[in-house]
Amino acid sequence: MIIDIFQLDKSISFAQIKPLLLQKFGFVFLQDQNQPFFAIYPKYLQIVDQGKSFYRQADFHYVEQTQTPLLEMNFCNNQINTADLSFRGGYIAFISYDYAAQQQIEQRHSIQQPAAIVGEYDIFIKQVDQQWRLFVEQNLMDHPVIQHLIQEVQHCQEIKTPIPFTLKNNMQPRWSKTKYRQAFQRVQDYLHAGDCYQINLTQEFSTQVTSGNLSCLLPELLQLSQAPFAGYIQFEDFELLSCSPELFIEFQPNRILKTRPIKGTLPRHQDPKQDQQLKQQLANSEKDQAENLMIVDLLRNDLSVYAQTGTVKVPTLFEIESFAQVHHMVSEIQAKLKDGVNVLEVLLSALPGGSITGAPKIRAMQIIDELEGNARGAYCGSLGYFNNDGTGRFNILIRTIQRYGDQLSVWAGGGITVASDADAEYQECLDKVSALLDFLNQYSE
């Protein structure tokens, strides 16, 4: 049983806790829709495609194992009936686009960085009623490591200034505008040939890191983006910092599933009147409604595989949500799971999310693999958690920065249909990612 054992002083802030906990093994942060939490010291941390799993023993030492099945999770008889959806101890997982895609298609581009990271956590600090509280497994509460942790968070001693984060050059797109138009035209050829009716085409922006870590940027980016599904996870020389506004799947109490795909984007404007006009323009856009509806239908089909007959519903269609830099068109699909269905199976089956592949999904992924020229890595994968009872919440990894070694990457894209315009789609990519690029480029040497 996981219990609340310590309440931090109200004066202690996110900026003080983060550098302290960052030093701990298995550090993860999730914004979790205004219910933020840090998790540390996982029972095990499993890195998919490297054949390694690290297990925590009772004395907090770690031994290496290689025999555990990948992405194995054990739930409490899968009884989803609690009223609390926030993280209460369980599994935190990052799953890359490519790990999910490789379960369904043969990819020509191999992924170099970790394809998935899974940890089981029973030690975490969560914000409850605007105050940080420490939760641990009951049988660990008297352990010296936990008692020392209490002393550390109680005093939040000054952490030495981290190495400054610097980039060798500004972020550069993989494609010129001409190259993008060529890829766009190939997409149009496939659409007109009847292979798909929507394909999500993305491009990468990248540079080299000369010093520092992405973790240095976490507080500022949270403030800049105000993203409800932001998160950070790290292992060795791999870092992932997401400012995602998009929910993939929410596993609610009483076996209810909810997904809220984003499809349709326009930039914000500083002038309130013009900003409202842009919002209304997006709401009235037949093209964006058509794109959105295609993905709604795809996700209805994905969820229906595991849903009780007659429970798949669309309570919200074409709703406009406004974020720090853009307006998005968002719809919502809900369903009720059949009895006996494992929620992990539902998650892995539905990944990659339809909003970032296209439809039909399999053929869209094959075309993406052909045209984009490289693996997507973390981008368009998912980061989130399952509680021990199977409730949980996973995002779609858009507006996401990935560092692997000295390579820093950001991606942006959009759904293309036969009604799409190349220049408008190219600009939409920039609208989505320009704030991140501007932010990162200020660290260029």
Catalytic residues: 246, 263
160 exposure class (CB count in 10 Å sphere: 0-12, 13-18, 19+) = exposed
Strand-pairing partners, residue 44, are: 55, 120
Q: Find out whether 401 and 222 touch, Cβ atoms under 8 Å.
A: no
Closest C-alpha among 178, 136, 174 to residue 153: 136
Closest C-alpha among 327, 427, 350 to residue 396: 350
Amino acid found at 302: D
Q: Find out whether 21 and 12 touch, Cβ atoms under 8 Å.
A: no
Tokens of 183: 């890829």
Output the CA angle 368-370-374, nearest 5 degrees.
80
Give 30-33 contacts, CB < 8 A, sequence gap 24+. Answer: 30/87, 30/92, 30/230, 30/231, 30/383, 30/384, 30/385, 31/222, 31/227, 31/228, 31/229, 31/230, 31/231, 32/86, 32/87, 32/229, 32/385, 32/393, 33/228, 33/229, 33/247, 33/393
Cβ neighbours of 216 (radius 10 Å): 19
Q: Please state, in angstroms and rounded to a whole number, the distance separating the CA atoms of residues 356 and 361.
A: 9
